[in-house]
Amino acid sequence: MMFLFKEKMISLSEIFNDTFVDIHSHLLPGIDDGAKNIEDSISLISKMYSYGIKNFITTPHVLGDVYPNSTQIILEKLDEVKKALSDKGYADITINAAAEYMIDEQFVARLEKDDILTLKDNMILVEMSYFNAPINLYEILFEIQLKGYKPVLAHPERYNFYHNDFQNYYKLKKAGCLFQLNLLSLTEQYGTSVKKTAERLIKENLYDFVGTDTHHKNHLRLLEKIGTKKTKNKILNLVENNSKFYK
């Protein structure tokens, strides 16, 4: 007779230490597909706090006419969240803002003007369309670095068009890209193919950082599924890498 042993769950606070910084989330109110209002922002941050996540560089979408968020809008919303957290007595939470920039023509225009919110120092969080990579992707990656910035590619495991040609990931790394794993990719959130690709990218040591990419409470409920010793051991060095963003 075969016995199936369910892996014992651990608290997420055993994974996230006090210097861990979540560098990818959508916690600013009402400016993208993340937090809907300030109450929602505080509720999400409060839940993440219960997981041991106390430091955030939140990253609203900057995406063409869909989410045309200016630097000013993002910083104003950040101030709103900081004030609300202070009013609620969260003295040990740090939150700053960057952005998740879609690699498109508008992004190139911002880059030319140096109108960029960085994660820290010169690192920019960027993403691509899930349908296909930009035709001039490598030219833009070169331009980013020519301007003195370092591209951090959000959730590379979610670009399905690379799944059948894994060498593209090595090509991106060679072109100077850092990789950020979505922790939810280790659950069923994005499907089997994404999970499998994430596992392979971990195995081949191609990731540099992690992020939750939290948009709503369902994401946070699902995030609890990464709370196993096996997953903790897989991502331990990446979680530690995120401490580089701690100020």
Q: Which domain holds residue 155?
A: 12-245
Q: Looking at the 3D structure of the chain, how many domains does it have?
A: 1
What is the spatial distance between Cα 189 and Cα 151, in angstroms, rounded to a whole number?
25
* pLDDT more than 70, % of the chain: 98
CATH of the domain at 170: 3.20.20.140
The verdict on residue 145 lying in a domain is: yes
| pLDDT tens-digit map of 32-67 | 999 999 999 999 999 999 999 999 999 999 999 999
Confidence of residue 124 (pLDDT cuts 50, 70, 90): very high
What 171-177 contacts at long range (C-beta under 8 Å, 24+ apart), as own/partner pairs, is 172/141, 173/206, 175/138, 175/141, 175/142, 176/141, 176/145, 176/150, 176/151, 177/141, 177/151, 177/152, 177/153
What pLDDT is attached to residue 126? 98
The mean pLDDT of 228-234, rounded to a whole number, is 96
Question: Is residue 2 situated within a structural domain?
Answer: no
- 4 lies in a domain? no
- Structural domain includes residue 114: yes
